[in-house]
Chain A
Amino acid sequence: MSAITATTQMSAPNRDIDTRGNRRAKRRKRLSFIADHSVGIAVAIMFLAPFVFIVFQSFMTSEQALTGDLWPQSWHPSNYVDVFTKAPMLLYLRNTLLYATLATLFMLLSSIPAAYALSRLQWKGRNIAFVVVLMMMMLPPQVTQVPIYVMWTRLHLTGTLWPMILPNLLGDAFSIFLLRQFFLTIPQEYADAARVDGCSEWQVMTKVILPMAKPGIAATAMFMFFFCWNDFYGPTLYTSENPDSWTISLGLASFRNLYQVQWNLTMAATILAMLPVLIVFFLAQKVFVEGITLTGVKG
């Protein structure tokens, strides 16, 4: 409809004259507004319906969960407490937080300097290094999995979460890529001024660039944290034989069959696994959307 919008704007000088054509254009504009928003609301309902259905299910009694009812006859918030008594959810939570927190901290320690060197320092081979970052980012983890798995077996660390945490001390390709994109948006002049004042490169980074890149660093850290929170492949590979190291993803994947056959508690557990991510998103929506947009700006 932007063609119509454009033509109405073209005839701006005549707008005051209430011609029949003008009125028709206005009516068509209103109709298209209604049509677009009807479609928008219909699609929005489809996107939200799964959430609504699983929330209803999570409050049902176990008897009602066996029926095909959509609406709970009576509401049972105690289902959410039962989840914790049926399965060691607190252990899973602790493991997940350990994995996600340490991995994110280690990633920041190693990836910020690397991203800084890739965006703010001049050196021969920088472009090649960036291509290597892109290649490592695109490489499916399965391709290099066998030798890395063998390595962690030799170090007796399979069965623990460390094989997923420790590599972050040596940089994470996606985070380096994202941080580099953020650093590039900061004007060079600030760093140059600090260099003239006699700051070392490390000081330029920590005192000048990092404070300005706070939103970018926050977004990168959040992506890493969520990646760990959601990760299923890594914990399956390294800890599936050792339930003491299971994360929420692993516990949840086995929840329905190991601890419970009914859907009401399973859906309560599912909602508990979603909740932290959704809450953080609502608190930091702007940072998040900016981060995602930036991943797609330059492929």
Chain B
Amino acid sequence: MTIAVDARSAGQPSPALRAKRRRQRLTVLAFLTPWLLGVAIFFIYPLIDTVYLSFTRYDLLSPPKWIGLTNYRFMFTKDPQVVQAAYNTLWLVVILVTARVLFGLAVATLVTRLKSGLGLFRTVFYLPALVPPVAGVLAFVFLFNPATGPVNQILGALGLPQPLWFNDPSLSKPSLVMLGLWGVGDLMIIFLASLLDVPKEQYEAAALDGVNPWQRFRYVTLPNISPVLMFAAITGVIAALQYFTEAVVAASVASGQATTGGGNAALLGYPEGSTLTYAQWLYVMGFKNYYLGYASALAVVMFAVSLGVTLILLRRARSLVYGAEGTR
């Protein structure tokens, strides 16, 4: 990275001016030095080294041994658990992110319509987003526990079926989605600020044109809030790709086995691997089993996917915004 002060004037600068510029350059450098070291040590170097290690066999004891594409071949053809982990993670990327964005938008819209007590409602809807993830998972595994949990007690009292929730392979991920929806407050705050920023005149003009509520949303609200929606989608996808804490803790607590991160292979992603995520598999392979070369290959693929998704969403965002403007 080059650090230089804008060279505005052409030709030979006077010695005094040159000294001043050098001083300015040194000032900038002084402010930035810690961060530049951080970029080198915690970003550029490990990124390059990860790519290199992904072509090696490495267990921390002996030096890395070059094995070409073996790790990648194993990942794509011989590792059934990475398939399951990738499936679960993509499921969460699609369902969890979509559900959270839609629900967050719905709650924010609701708040804009509440004429009295807006501040109180906003606080109540935001509160669960503050709950530490581990505490939130514990609370939900308790609430949804099949035998004595309040949810099933209430369902039973109403004569409704009482599912196994976190203990049922087909319901464990939807249960995690419900936990994600409870903590939708962070998105709600961002959406609310954006909704309140939509110019009133645009709504008034739309009302004069006699549009219906859907048209008003589609042609007035949506174009105004789409940058914020896109921000929420991109950060949501990135977060879902590294989904770890909630899945690990839910599996461990629901199975009744203390496993900080998944020591017991049989219980990985309990029940039946339905909550095993890609980030957890990378953690287990790399830092429990010390297949560091293989973990690096998993990391490279994760990098490629997160980069790809971000670029695609950004491109879609542009067409969404321009498309809406074109129809106006």
Query: Quick one: given A123-B3, A124-B5, are A143 and B302 in contact (CB under 8 Å)?
Result: yes
Contact among A68, A121, A128 with B1 in the assembled complex (CB-CB below 8 Å): A128
Q: Which residues of B contact A271 (CB under 8 A)?
A: 135
Q: Of all chain A residues, which has the CB nearest B5?
A: A123
Q: Which residues of B contact A32 (CB under 8 A)?
A: 113
Question: Cβ of A160 < 8 Å from any Cβ of B?
Answer: no
Question: Cβ of A26 < 8 Å from any Cβ of B?
Answer: no
Distance of B24 from chain A, by nearest CB (Å): 8
Q: Is the CB of A170 within 8 A of B42?
A: yes
Distance of B121 from chain A, by nearest CB (Å): 6
Distance of A6 from chain B, by nearest CB (Å): 4
- Interface flags, A82-100, vs B, CB<8A=1, else 0: 0000000000000000000
Query: Quick one: given A150-B60, A237-B287, are A124 and B4 in contact (CB under 8 Å)?
Result: yes
Query: Quick one: given A113-B34, A146-B50, are A252 and B204 in contact (CB under 8 Å)?
Result: no
Question: Cβ of B86 < 8 Å from any Cβ of A?
Answer: no
Q: Which residues of A contact B94 (CB under 8 A)?
A: none
Q: Is the CB of A124 within 8 A of B2?
A: yes
Contact among B39, B110, B128 with A50 in the assembled complex (CB-CB below 8 Å): B128
- Interface flags, A209-220, vs B, CB<8A=1, else 0: 000000000000
Question: Cβ of A74 < 8 Å from any Cβ of B?
Answer: no
Query: Quick one: given A171-B34, A285-B123, are A140 and B279 in contact (CB under 8 Å)?
Result: yes
Q: Is the CB of B31 within 8 A of A114?
A: yes
Q: Which residues of B contact A140 (CB under 8 A)?
A: 238, 241-242, 279, 302-303, 306
Question: Cβ of A287 < 8 Å from any Cβ of B?
Answer: no
Q: Which residues of B contact A151 (CB under 8 A)?
A: 46
Q: Which residues of B contact A54 (CB under 8 A)?
A: 139, 142-143
Q: Of all chain B residues, which has the CB nearest A263?
A: B142
Q: Of all chain A residues, which has the CB nearest B37?
A: A170
The prevalent SS among residues of A at the interface is: helix
A125→B132 CA distance, assembly (Å):
38
A145→B285 CA distance, assembly (Å):
12
Question: Cβ of B299 < 8 Å from any Cβ of A?
Answer: yes
A256→B254 CA distance, assembly (Å):
10
Question: Cβ of B114 < 8 Å from any Cβ of A?
Answer: yes
Contact among A6, A43, A230, A240 with B125 in the assembled complex (CB-CB below 8 Å): A43
Chain B contact residue count (CB 8 A cutoff): 112
Distance of B292 from chain A, by nearest CB (Å): 5
A50→B139 CA distance, assembly (Å):
7
Interface-lining segment among B11-19, B168-176, B245-253: B245-253
- Interface flags, B50-93, vs A, CB<8A=1, else 0: 10010000001000000000000000000000000000000000
Q: Which of B226-246 contact A (CB under 8 A)?
A: 227-228, 230-232, 234-235, 238, 241-242, 244-245
The prevalent SS among residues of B at the interface is: helix
A216→B194 CA distance, assembly (Å):
20
Question: Cβ of B9 < 8 Å from any Cβ of A?
Answer: no
A226→B133 CA distance, assembly (Å):
11
A278→B115 CA distance, assembly (Å):
26
Q: Is the CB of B34 within 8 A of A136?
A: no
Q: Which residues of B contact A150 (CB under 8 A)?
A: 60, 292
Question: Cβ of B193 < 8 Å from any Cβ of A?
Answer: yes
A232→B261 CA distance, assembly (Å):
9
Q: Is the CB of B193 within 8 A of A125?
A: no
Question: Cβ of A148 < 8 Å from any Cβ of B?
Answer: yes
Taking beta carbons and an 8 Å cutoff, which residues of A are in contact with B?
A: 1-3, 6-7, 10, 32-33, 36-37, 39-40, 43-44, 47-48, 50-51, 53-54, 57, 65-68, 70, 109-111, 113-114, 116-117, 121-125, 128-129, 132, 135-136, 138-151, 153, 167, 169-171, 176, 200-202, 226, 229-230, 232-233, 236-237, 240, 248-250, 252-258, 261, 263, 266-267, 270-271, 273-274, 277-278, 281, 285, 289, 292-293, 295-297, 299
